[in-house]
Amino acid sequence: MRKAIAVFCSAAQQIDKKYFEEAAAVGRWMADNDVSLVYGGAEMGLMEEIAKSVKQHGGHVVGVVPTKLRERGAVSQLIDDIIYCNNLSERKDIMLEQSDLLVALPGGIGTLDEVFHIMGAATIGYHHKKVVLYNVEGFWDACIDMLKKMSTEGFIRGNLNDFLRVASKPEELARILEEETY
């Protein structure tokens, strides 16, 4: 059975090209390893870049598309299977259902919302899937430090490693995916 990774990431265009290069590398790794991409379905930013890379390398793309994205005509043409939803809350829940692992590439407020929605649900037992912060050149370092502080000061229930991992190369994602799905 094919594995699937939900990827949260930026839809911004005006960001450093190194983030686009890393998104393409992750997409290539996913396709080469028969791992489906589950993502937000937008035709812009890192979202489009990772979908393009997955498709160019023969992979499978699942887009979870909220109403506002459709209304704006901003849905990617690279999607193999499309799942429509009403809003961003539904999108997060569907992406969680459709994936074995969730990965956050660099992103903004929306990406943070997705990460914390999934982690929050894990802390109270709604699921046991991990979020991986894909730490391109230290992008997530401040967030990781904040989470560690919250954990050591008792603000996070359980062990932070029970629902969070960090990777900076596709090979590290492979190891985490293997650990989490077997």
Could you give the domains of the chain?
3-181 (3.40.50.450)
pTM of the model: 0.95
Determine the Cα–Cα distance for residues 129 and 118; give it in Å rounded to an integer.
8
Beta bridge partners of 167: 134
Determine the Cα–Cα distance for residues 169 and 113; give it in Å rounded to an integer.
23
Beta bridge partners of 37: 5, 61
What was the pLDDT predicted at 181? 66
Q: Is 182 helix (H, G, I), strand (E, B) or coil?
A: coil
Segment 4-23, tens digit of pLDDT: 999 999 999 999 999 999 99
Query: How many residues does the structure list for the chain?
Result: 182
Tokens of 92: 């997060």
Provide the sign of the torsion angle of the four alpha carbons 55, 13, 64, 102, taken in this order: positive
What was the pLDDT predicted at 2? 83
Segment 50-107, tens digit of pLDDT: 999 999 999 999 999 999 999 999 999 999 999 999 999 999 999 999 999 999 999 9
